[in-house]
């Protein structure tokens, strides 16, 4: 080999050593190798749930719902007025009368009263009504209400309303930021009345929340739920759906500048279990239905647009 040829060969070898080229890859072989080297997934498919009409990982629903209610916290009454054409106020009044919170003639210092837990009640809408019913109707000045919500913005709105309405001076309201599916700060068998109004359809696991309700209630304690439900008249159902899907998101955009949150809310109503299915879930959690074997466990309002469900924790 001549000196010039040796010099050129040496130069090429040095270049390759200092600047190595990527190895040749067969695409099909690489795919097979990559798949064979991937760690096996022994955990199975990712659990999913519904967020409106979307199917999402269960782990993400809580944050998605939180974003919705953070967005609508300051306009919560407006939201409910749009969703129900204002009738939610009548439904809430009726709901509170139907559960009759408080203990008759239980004056402050002369009786223990009830311990009431209002879940997803951040703005105080139901709690304020129950407090007034206890005091005015049952002459009960001792019963106390824990207002629980997972969303701090909703709780802040409730505290603001309590100050403005003079309810915060009573010493009978307390506020708890908590997940209804894990009420670890509340002891077993410590609650007389558990209420949830227009909140259960937003829970990631309704079954888990119902089991928690059963755990914290005293034997003989009452679970009471007010929620949108399934309309039992086809004409009314058609009109209601046209209003819900055609008007409510648009009005939400115009009034609150938030179409997406209102779109989720109407979709969440559509996806929520019907009366019979929710009744079965309540029974499966361990509750007895009021009225014995013939009691159906719910009461429709306005033909099923909304519905009141109740369950009682057995004494034994």
**Helix boundaries (H) for 144-185:** 152-165
Query: Binding site annotation covers 180?
Result: yes
Work out the number of other CB atoms within 10 angstroms of the CB of residue 242. Answer: 10
Q: Give one word for 143, left, alpha or beta, with left for phi > 0 and alpha for psi -120 to 50.
A: beta
CB atoms within 10 A of CB 234: 8
Which single residue is written with the structure tokens 């009960």?
Answer: 140
Q: Is 120 annotated as a binding residue?
A: no
123 labelled ligand-binding = yes
**What 8-state DSSP symbol labels residue 135?**
I
Do the Cβ atoms of 145 and 118 come closer than 8 Å? yes
On whether 204 is known to bind a ligand per the annotation, the reply is: no
Sign of CA dihedral 295, 269, 118, 256: negative
Q: Which of 116, 121, 123, 119 is nearest to 182 (CA)?
A: 119
User: Binding site for S-adenosyl-L-methionine: what residues are annotated?
Assistant: 123, 149, 179-180
Q: Which residues are annotated as a binding site?
A: 123, 149, 179-180
């Amino acid at each position: 080999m001549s000196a010039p040829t040796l010099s050129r060969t040496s130069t090429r070898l040095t270049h390759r050593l200092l600047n190595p080229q990527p190895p040749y890859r067969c695409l099909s072989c690489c795919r097979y190798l990559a798949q064979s080297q991937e760690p096996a997934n022994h955990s199975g498919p990712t659990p999913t749930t519904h967020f409106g009409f979307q199917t999402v990982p269960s782990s993400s629903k809580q944050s998605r719902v939180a974003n919705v209610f953070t967005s609508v916290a300051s306009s919560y009454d407006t939201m409910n007025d749009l969703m129900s054409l204002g009738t939610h106020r009548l439904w809430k009044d009726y709901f509170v009368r139907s559960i009759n919170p408080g203990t008759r003639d239980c004056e402050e210092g002369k009786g223990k009263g009830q311990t009431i837990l209002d879940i997803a009640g951040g703005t105080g809408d139901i709690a304020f009504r129950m407090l007034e019913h206890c005091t005015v109707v049952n002459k009960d000045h001792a019963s106390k209400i824990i207002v629980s919500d997972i969303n701090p913005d909703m709780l802040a709105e409730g505290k603001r309303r309590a100050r403005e309405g003079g309810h915060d001076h009573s010493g009978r309201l307390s506020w708890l930021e908590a997940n209804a599916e894990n009420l670890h700060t509340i002891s077993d068998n410590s609650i007389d009345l558990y209420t949830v109004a227009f909140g259960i359809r937003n829970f990631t696991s309704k079954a888990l929340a119902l089991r928690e309700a059963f755990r914290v209630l005293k034997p003989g304690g009452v679970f009471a739920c007010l929620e949108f439900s399934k309309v039992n008249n086809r004409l009314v159902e058609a009109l209601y759906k046209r209003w819900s899907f055609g008007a409510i998101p648009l009005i939400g955009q115009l009034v609150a500048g938030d179409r997406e949150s209102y779109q989720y809310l109407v979709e969440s109503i559509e996806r929520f279990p019907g009366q019979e299915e929710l009744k079965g879930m309540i029974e499966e959690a361990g509750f007895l239905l009021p009225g014995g074997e013939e009691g159906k466990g719910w009461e429709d309002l306005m033909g099923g647009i909304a519905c009141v469900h109740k369950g009682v924790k057995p004494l034994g």
